[in-house]
Amino acid sequence: MIRGARIALLLALLIASQITLAVGEESKLVPHPPKGRGEQCVAATDFMRRNHMNLMKHQRDETVREGVRGKAFSLTGCVDCHAVNGADAKPVSYADSRHFCRSCHDYAAVSIDCFQCHASRPGSEKPHAAQGVGSTALAAVAAYFQGAANDRK
């Protein structure tokens, strides 16, 4: 009788410790993206998880090649609703591992170059791109086009 109770207790403890272990490990193994602002994303959350990269690339092509702006999948919009505040109550930039866009990427070893040009937090100096398209890179491109134009003359 007593022995049976002891075994039951031991089993219960074992199971309990297994569960805590599982939960503790899961929270380390799975990314935890911070919650976005508002009720919903620009598309269903599940869809966004899987397809955001394609949506955005498409959007970029449309903007850069055809001058389409301000559509649903603007990067400015993502950064706006998915801002995460640091200790100073100001949104962190992509340099900070707490940034929304890094919450899964760090985990999945995905690296993106988007924020070399685009602002990674809302209300940044530069509304759209051009952060990293600093003077040197831009001047080089301008010089190239100038040269090409001159060649045709």
What is the contact surface with ligand HEC in residues (CB under 6 A)?
A: 31, 33, 35-38, 40-42, 45, 48-49, 52-53, 56, 59-60, 63-64, 69, 73-78, 81-82, 100-101, 103-105, 108, 110, 112-114, 116-118, 128-130, 133
CB of 88 to ligand HEC, least distance (A): 21
Closer residue to ligand HEC, CB minimum distance, 19 or 112: 112
Closer residue to ligand HEC, CB minimum distance, 11 or 127: 127
Q: Which residue has the tokens 């690296």?
A: 111
Closer residue to ligand HEC, CB minimum distance, 37 or 152: 37
Q: Cβ(34)–Cβ(100) under 8 Å?
A: yes
Q: Cβ(137)–Cβ(117) under 8 Å?
A: no
Which ranges in 67-134 belong to alpha helices (H)? 75-81, 100-108
Q: Cβ(121)–Cβ(57) under 8 Å?
A: no
CB of 3 to ligand HEC, least distance (A): 48
From the list 119, 122, 84, the residue with the least C-alpha distance to 100 is 84
CB of 142 to ligand HEC, least distance (A): 13
CB of 121 to ligand HEC, least distance (A): 11
From the list 87, 81, 117, the residue with the least C-alpha distance to 101 is 81
